[in-house]
A = this chain, B = another copy of it.
Amino acid sequence: MTEAADRTDAERELLAATERAIAEYGVSAVTTQKIADEWGRAQSLVHYYYDTKDDLVVAYIEWVRDGFQQRYAEHADDPPLQRLRWAVVGDLDRDDCADPTTAALYELHAQAPHDEAYRAALNDLEDCAREFVETAIIDGVAAGTFRDVDPADAATFLLSAHDGGVVRTVSLDRTADADNLRAGVEQYVRHVLLTDDAREDWTGFAEAGD
Q: Which single member of B119, B161, B177 contacts A164 (CB below 8 Å)?
A: B161
Binary interface encoding of chain A residues 156-198 relative to chain B, with 1 for a CB under 8 A from any of its CBs, else 0: 1111111111011011111001001101110110011000000
Give CA–CA (A155, B168) in the complex, Å: 13
A113 within 8 Å of B (CB atoms): yes
Tell me, yes or no, whether A39 is within 8 Å of chain B by CB.
Answer: no
Known: A28-B28, A160-B181, A168-B126. A119 touches B153 (CB 8 A): no
* Chain B hits for A167, CB < 8 A: 109, 160, 163-164, 167
Q: Judging by beta carbons under 8 Å apart, are B187 and A153 in contact? A: yes
A160 to B106: give the CA distance in the assembly, Å.
Answer: 15
Task: Find out whether the CB atom of A156 lies under 8 angstroms from the CB atom of B180.
Answer: yes
Interface centre among A150, A159, A167 (most CB of B within 10 A): A167
A128 at the A/B interface (Cβ < 8 Å)?
no
Question: What is the copy number of this chain in the assembly?
Answer: 2
Interface residues of A in 104-125 (CB under 8 A from B): 106-107, 109-114, 119, 122-123
Let me know if A149 is at the binding interface, CB within 8 A: yes
Whether, in the assembled complex, A152 has its beta carbon less than 8 Å from a beta carbon of chain B, the answer is: yes
B113 adjacent to A103 (CB under 8 Å)? yes
Contacts A103-B113, A192-B191; A157 near B174 (Cβ below 8 A): no
- Interface status of A79 (Cβ within 8 A of chain B): no
Closest 10 CB pairs of A and B: A157-B184, A160-B164, A163-B164, A110-B110, A156-B180, A164-B164, A153-B183, A109-B171, A161-B161, A112-B171
